[in-house]
Chain A
């Protein structure tokens, strides 16, 4: 079988399980909150409009942004209350998805209850039902099909949106989709999408069975549908098979680009060889990754000197690599108890890059030259660069102003410079595509861009684990930039693509893959 397909399929059971579990919890919470609110809103006309408006408002926030918002919100909550609120993973994903599930449940609930014929409400009152009896004996049973239709809608939405939970570090089928998109591994993307769609259709079908059973008063159908739905969720709750007893589980983080996946795979292989059980949290945002490490949500990941320098320490001036590393090691330890294990041996620095032919035609070889040509040129930046301190530092040091600036995901940024829709891009110095596309990196004589040494960081919880450090020691200082570029190109190139794991085997061939 195609290695990309078999890798994707191997990851599927665990991901389906956690995807389903997350979705089920979010829908359950949505019902638990939404149904009482619907009952309240149906009974109280003054509450109805604001409640529905609020739920509708939540719905207009893009799901991705909603998920991302809960990360800082929970961090602040944790700091304010002094409680250990997990800001990453299950909790923020659960809250965001439940909020998302709320609208259809609330809206259908209100419609179901307030849509009941007034003559039946009058009869219920006239016969002497209390409000609670009217609710349980008349309104809820009669409204059940409509209420359930709302739950169905919520279920389909939630299962779809749960793919986005990946971005806050909660494993889901989105892991396959996001990493596949990053590395242009379409098999992975398709497997992830197909699995999420199949799951949504399955749950929708089962709930449709319950709904039709309720509408036509066929208790057997209701029970069959409900039992099958519960069985499905129950299967997700069973402990994962193949759990080797005794091994400690560590979680390896990765940001959302190929090099990170490859390095995480290399680290994972080393840790597995040392007897650790491993888990992955891929596609973490840049600051999210560090916060997750500091909070011990992940135990190890690779970050870059300049990124930590600017984003975590909030410093601008860029000292030489060795000095920066020493300061980082001390300050990250003091701040968060994070251990800087050491440099991998290459830099993945931000560098502005141009196509060789274009650079030569314009006579640009350094950022000083670029500043003169920039008013006629278009910059293609990655998604973060324009908001990062490095960009301000380059802009201010050289006085660069482009005719146009656009942000791309890394893959599309390289496409843009290849097809000429961008003249200058924010390349990464370890990127295999620099050689492949014949790009030149522009010199930085004023040292506006800091050093971006790849550094292995270990969480406070593992900082004192010497076996852990020893397991990773063979990687420290051993990965030269050429090797990293070759490994990156294997994953990023357009034809004969390899998976990050295969690239990791090339990068660190200590053990057969």
Chain B
């Protein structure tokens, strides 16, 4: 679904509109540069420094102004030390690498950011921390974020609006609070039930102690 938005995949039917314009009316590379993208596999280029990775989209756009200062700001934004700029991806932990991935997505100042299971491969602590810091950035920068995740708890905690897709069809489209109140669709209801029941069981485990 994300890939139809930035034209990595062309839909068989229907269209995708951005600010009312059909994305097919735009050159694919230009369209993609205007949209932030955070990849599941992170996808940092191993032969480029952190700074070069972060600055890749501005570079594609021919932007040279204030590179150093803006890379430093972007590293601040994702809570990485500024001296990471000269390091190479191989020396970063998974969480650090995805923070660079986030900085890269934000470097050209996009209004829309696509996130393809961005924190899926990370350990739970890093995952939670990155999720929350992303939500903070999202609010601060006034972004539109479309995130794909298989973790309904993550979706419920981070999103303003959740679309449940099962076998390629939209089965629910609601705010988290609405979704938590229950659904007529038994599969959607089962999905929402998982984190709720887990929370209850965790509370039960902790309770008697």
Contact = CB atoms under 8 A, between A and B. Distances in A.
Contacts of A138: 45
Contacts of B42: 119
Contact of B57 (A125, A128, A141, A142): A128
A217 B46 CA distance: 11
A133 interface: yes
Given A133-B60, A138-B45, A126 B30 contact: no
Interface in B1-55: 6, 8, 28-34, 37, 39, 41-47
B29 A128 contact: yes
B47 A217 contact: yes
B103 interface: no
Interface in A103-149: 117, 119-120, 122-130, 133, 137-138, 141-142
A141 B88 CA distance: 15
B74 interface: no
B104 interface: yes
Contacts of B39: 119, 122-123, 126
Contact of A127 (B41, B47, B57): B57
Interface string A476-495: 00000000000000000000
A396 B135 CA distance: 99
B162 interface: no
Contacts of B192: none
A117 B8 CA distance: 17
B56 A127 contact: yes
Contact of B47 (A122, A123, A128, A142): A142
A300 to B, nearest CB: 58
Contact of A130 (B29, B31, B46): B29
B106 to A, nearest CB: 12
Nearest to B49: A217
A216 to B, nearest CB: 11
Contacts of A128: 28-34, 57, 60
A122 B41 contact: yes
* Residues of A in contact with B, size category: 10 to 19
B8 A127 contact: no
Contacts of B44: 123
Most buried by B among A117, A133, A137: A137
Contacts of B57: 127-128
A126 B46 CA distance: 17
Contacts of A127: 32-33, 37, 56-57, 60, 104
* Residues of B in contact with A, size category: 20 to 34
Most buried by A among B31, B33, B46, B104: B46
Nearest to A121: B43
Contacts of B47: 141-142, 217
A122 B60 CA distance: 16
Given A119-B43, A120-B45, A126 B60 contact: no
Nearest to B105: A127
Nearest to B41: A119
A403 B44 CA distance: 74
Contacts of A130: 29
Interface string B90-109: 00000000000000100000
Contacts of A217: 47, 88
Most buried by B among A117, A122, A133: A122
Interface string B71-94: 000000000000000001000000
Contacts of A120: 43, 45-46
Interface string A198-221: 000000000000000000010000
A122 to B, nearest CB: 6
Contacts of A123: 37, 39, 41, 43-45
A138 B47 CA distance: 8
Interface string A255-297: 0000000000000000000000000000000000000000000
Interface string A294-305: 000000000000
B30 A125 contact: no
A476 B8 CA distance: 82
A144 to B, nearest CB: 9
Contacts of B104: 127
Contact of B32 (A119, A126, A137, A141): A126
A59 to B, nearest CB: 31
A124 B45 CA distance: 9
B67 to A, nearest CB: 16
A128 B43 CA distance: 14
A309 B161 CA distance: 96
Nearest to B88: A217
B60 A129 contact: yes
26 contacts: A119-B42, A119-B43, A120-B43, A120-B45, A122-B8, A123-B44, A124-B45, A125-B8, A126-B8, A126-B32, A127-B32, A127-B33, A127-B57, A127-B104, A128-B28, A128-B29, A128-B31, A128-B33, A128-B57, A129-B60, A130-B29, A133-B60, A137-B45, A142-B45, A217-B47, A217-B88
Q: Which 10 A-B pairs have the closest CB atoms?
A: A123-B43, A128-B32, A119-B41, A128-B33, A126-B37, A128-B29, A119-B43, A141-B47, A130-B29, A123-B39
Given A127-B37, A128-B34, 12 more contacts: A120-B43, A122-B8, A122-B43, A123-B43, A126-B6, A126-B43, A127-B32, A127-B57, A128-B60, A129-B60, A133-B29, A137-B56
